[in-house]
Chains A and B, each alone.
Chain A
Amino acid sequence: MMPGMALRVSGKVRQQSEKEPAQMINPQYQILADKPDGSPS
């Protein structure tokens, strides 16, 4: 996984407070586009 990739992530959602970003517990992910320029895998 590298910055720029498009992902689909599945898992249980946790959010400590409204100010913090949501977290995903035990995530499973699938790469949708694996190049930083967004081209499809």
Chain B
Amino acid sequence: MSYLAFVTHATPFQAGYPSVLSEEARAVFGTGTIGNVLFYLVQIASAAILYTGANTSFNGFPFLASFVAEDRLLPRQLTKRGHRLVFSNGIIVLTVVSVLLLVVTGGSVNALVPFYAIGVFTGFVMAGYGMTKHHLGAREPGWQWPLAINLGAGILATIVVGIFAVAKFTEGAWLVVVAFPVLVYILMRLNCEYRAEASVLEKLRHSAPLESQYAHRKVFLMVGSIDLAVLEALRYARGLRASELTAVHFMIDDVYAQRLRQRWEHFGIKAKLEIIDCPDRRITHAAQRLVVQALEEENTGVTVLLPRRSYAPFLGRLLHDRTADRIARVVSRIPHAVATIVPFDVQAQIRQTFPELPEERITRKVERLRERMAGEEDRVENGQESHERAPAAIPIEALIPGQRATVEGRVLSMETTGSSPRTRYRATITTKAANLSSSFTDRWHSR
């Protein structure tokens, strides 16, 4: 290509188009019919190569990102596979960043090349020096030659990165030069955070008792207003068979609290309602005080129930505060106290009551689309179940009690009871129409 550029005197246009490649192809093939065909063939082939190159990133990056995220250097969301068994979040991140770069640079190749070159050659630098370190550590037979090659590659790549960073600094390379160290710092901080979380959770697993029996179990149900969410939480609270169940309202506005008590009496709710004055308006502190006081009685455990109304994910966050989460965070720090959030899906109720709202119509359309996509996946999954069926085997729903039979199905769930060597396994085997449970003493026998 460089030779052709030299021979044909192809010079790049300031606008970037037509490209040098196109100029060369035009000069080599001419403007005849065959020349035109070959010219377009070169253009299409170049586009196809670039398309394949771009697609490689979409294949490779999500996998790479998931490995890095597993090592806790990127957000954990990147390890999740979507319904189509690909790392959807990685693909979405890459798409957003790519589109952003295209918009910011106006799709100019000249502006994008420094990003590409620095990115690629930084990879070569890391690979070169990484392998150099490996050879120095491992010292396998004949290690000197590979060491020289890798070290040489690392040094050359460093020089190239340096040249690009200096020569193209004002044309966009500055962003990479600034962004790389900042990103590396952020990712290291993220790693520290994940490691801290993991070490704390591991410590709790070893120190916390597996079972705790309390003589008294006090349940507090936090009530901000009287609605279906509170009634659902109350129903759940009654099922806990607590030695003491109290509905608690922290009073910030006395008129409102008075009205709440009247409504409580009006609806004939039998649970005890306690209204506690909260003059400093700090509900989380008041909840903390209440729990600590309740725990002063010996051998007592406290459960705080927090009804949470769940709204549409984004709009709900904007329109409603997260008091329940804040109280839960504070209560969960107190020993012998547990905070339980009882969710109530307000969004589902809105959907039923006001089906014609424009937001609901859009949501329904999105859900229908999702269902259609999920339907396609179900068909694929069902296709996987088509293992060879023995001619004598029958489906579970055709079993006759009292007789010996052979059935085929898929293991739906497995229960493990007891401890080794007397462990028993109960498997529920399912087909589309019926379930069958079987107990085994050894989950690997008769393979």
Contact = CB atoms under 8 A, between A and B. Distances in A.
A1 B427 CA distance: 9
B435, B438, B444, B447, most chain A CB atoms within 10 A: B438
A28 to B, nearest CB: 5
Contacts, number: 106
B405 A10 contact: yes
A21 to B, nearest CB: 4
Interface stretch (B301-309, B356-364, B383-391): B383-391
Interface residues of B, number: 39
A9 B436 contact: yes
Given A3-B414, A31-B447, A11 B404 contact: yes
Nearest to A39: B384
B446 A1 contact: no
Nearest to A40: B387
Nearest to B436: A22
Contacts of A32: 387-388, 408
Given A9-B438, A13-B401, A13-B405, A1 B393 contact: no
Contact of B410 (A6, A13, A23): A6
Given A13-B400, A21-B437, A7 B409 contact: yes
B401 A22 contact: yes
Given A1-B425, A4-B411, A9 B387 contact: no
B412 A3 contact: yes
Interface string A14-41: 1100000111100111111100011110
B296 interface: no
Interface in B354-408: 381, 384-385, 387-388, 390, 393, 396, 399-408
Nearest to B447: A31
Contacts of A23: 436-439
Given A13-B404, A28-B446, A38-B381, A4 B436 contact: no
Interface of B: 381, 384-385, 387-388, 390, 393, 396, 399-414, 425, 427-429, 434-440, 443-444, 446-447
Interface of A: 1-15, 21-24, 27-33, 37-40
The 9 closest A-B pairs by CB, nearest first: A38-B384, A21-B435, A15-B401, A27-B438, A10-B406, A24-B438, A1-B443, A13-B399, A32-B387
